[in-house]
Amino acid sequence: MLKKTNRITVAFYNFKLKHPRLVMAALVFIIIPLVSGLALGYEMKADVPTSIPTVIVNHDDSDFSRTFTGFVEDSHYFNVIEYAENDQRIKDLMDRDKAFAGIIIPENFYNDMRAGKAPKILTLYDGASLSVVTTCKTAMSEILLTTKGAYMMSIFEGKISAVPDQVMSMVTPIDVNYKFLYNSTKSFRNYLLIGMLASVIQVGIAMQGAERGYENQIAPKSYPEQIKVLGGWSFMSMISILLCLGVQYLFFDMPYRSTVWGGLLMTFLFAMCILTMGYIVGNLVPDRTFAIQISAILVLPTSVLGGYTYPIEGMPYGFQTFAKGLPFFYYGNWIRSLCLKELEFHHLMVPLLFFIKFILAELLIIWAVTLFKNWWRAKHKKEWEVTPIV
């Protein structure tokens, strides 16, 4: 006799046995998108790397060097965790993941500078933490530019007696105004999460596609019926992506600045591309679990191969060409653009056309496979007097 405490387990177990499709669809299309969206959105709540643990070794101890370190302390990008006595301490703390940046100001720095010996400040970054370094370097350069600007003004005023009006334009002969468009705050969430979450969901979509494809092996359907199945499940898949990104929009300030209809259409077509890809695998591979694993493995690496985080200009030529044949190359980059840029429907022609061509090619494959299987079944039905499963 079962214990009372086991009743919930038994009820859930029985429910799973009765409705395996419903349970997995709910897990894949609702629960996982929501949990992933909420968890990762919350994790990266800070959004931009700030308060980067920094160690300073100041061998100079002049007012000038203290002013410089003061700028570093005042910057919200850095958190000076220690003023160390020796240079080795920076490496020690980096080895322990306690510090990500270090500054070494050499002895007699200010005197050497005044004597025109051009001393250098050494900055060290933990290159093993790329996300932090990129922010560190830019912030540190800005601080140095401010300090250097003030110093150069004194040079121009003192050594060549330039009039104050002219000094600024001599210190920076070309004043460059850098404008970071579409993600001016360098939001890590907006850069990374939008596509990565879509990438999480696409794995589920492909696997659900494989399940549907395998079902077709067991109980074959006509071609129009198969297209109906693909359409319905693609719609579910689209809802799943929207749910996941919706969490970011509602709770974590993810913007959406572009055409809504364009975004919906693009998401539906992308979902159909991936679902159909899984369907083809499931329709061909004779083992259900293996079909699911293959379909997942086919789409999993595309989050990296598709040039979503790492620019495709940094890939070898063959990989660049390959990336341009992947649905995620278009969806990942364009869904981020839809969120961050102000795109109109006509801007989306490139990804939409790609998806349509891709889907047509997939449907052609399914048609060919269906024809072949029908022929094969008919042929062997006569021999074996039963309809074989293909």
Residues 191-220 that bind other proteins (CB under 8 A): 191-192, 196, 199-200, 203-204, 207, 211
> With respect to other proteins, which residue has the nearer C-beta, 70 or 286?
286
Query: Which residue type is seen at 162?
Result: A
- Expressed in angstroms, the distance from the first to the final Cα of the chain is 43
CB of 228 to other proteins, least distance (A): 23
d(CA 345, CA 343): 7
Q: Specify whether the CB–CB gap between 164 and 157 falls below 8 A.
A: yes
Q: List the one residue from 223, 235, 256, 290 that touches other proteins (CB under 8 A).
A: 290
d(CA 331, CA 334): 5
151 interacts with other proteins by CB under 8 A? yes
Query: What tokens does 290 get?
Result: 């293996």
Phi, psi of 81 (to 5 degrees): -90, -15
Q: List the one residue from 286, 360, 378, 381 that touches other proteins (CB under 8 A).
A: 286
Positions in 58-77 near other proteins (CB under 8 A): none
2 interacts with other proteins by CB under 8 A? yes
265 interacts with other proteins by CB under 8 A? no
The Cα angle at residue 224 between residues 220 and 229, in degrees rounded to 5: 70
Question: Which of these segments, 8-16, 217-225, 229-237, 359-367, binds other proteins (CB under 8 A)?
Answer: 8-16
Positions in 340-379 near other proteins (CB under 8 A): 340-343, 347, 350
Question: Which of these segments, 55-63, 216-224, 315-323, 382-390, binds other proteins (CB under 8 A)?
Answer: 315-323
CB of 106 to other proteins, least distance (A): 10
Positions in 19-38 near other proteins (CB under 8 A): 20, 23-24, 27-28, 32, 36
State the virtual CA torsion across 227, 228, 233, 239 in degrees, nearest 10. 110
> With respect to other proteins, which residue has the nearer C-beta, 162 or 363?
162
State the virtual CA torsion across 325, 331, 333, 334 in degrees, nearest 10. 120
Positions in 325-344 near other proteins (CB under 8 A): 333-334, 336-337, 340-343
Positions in 82-101 near other proteins (CB under 8 A): 91, 94-97, 100
Strand-by-strand arrangement of the 78-83 sheet: 78-83, 52-58, 101-105
Q: List the one residue from 30, 34, 44, 265 that touches other proteins (CB under 8 A).
A: 44
40 interacts with other proteins by CB under 8 A? yes
Length of the chain: 390
Q: List the one residue from 310, 372, 375, 376 that touches other proteins (CB under 8 A).
A: 310
CB of 47 to other proteins, least distance (A): 9
Question: Which of these segments, 54-62, 264-272, 285-293, 363-371, binds other proteins (CB under 8 A)?
Answer: 285-293
Name the nearest CA neighbour of 222 among 48, 23, 374: 374
Residues in the interface with other proteins (CB under 8 A) total 129
280 interacts with other proteins by CB under 8 A? no
Residue with tokens 């003023």: 83
d(CA 230, CA 354): 18
d(CA 111, CA 117): 9
Positions in 111-150 near other proteins (CB under 8 A): 113, 116-134, 137-138, 140-141, 144, 147-148
Query: What tokens does 91 get?
Result: 């490496």
DSSP state of 313: G
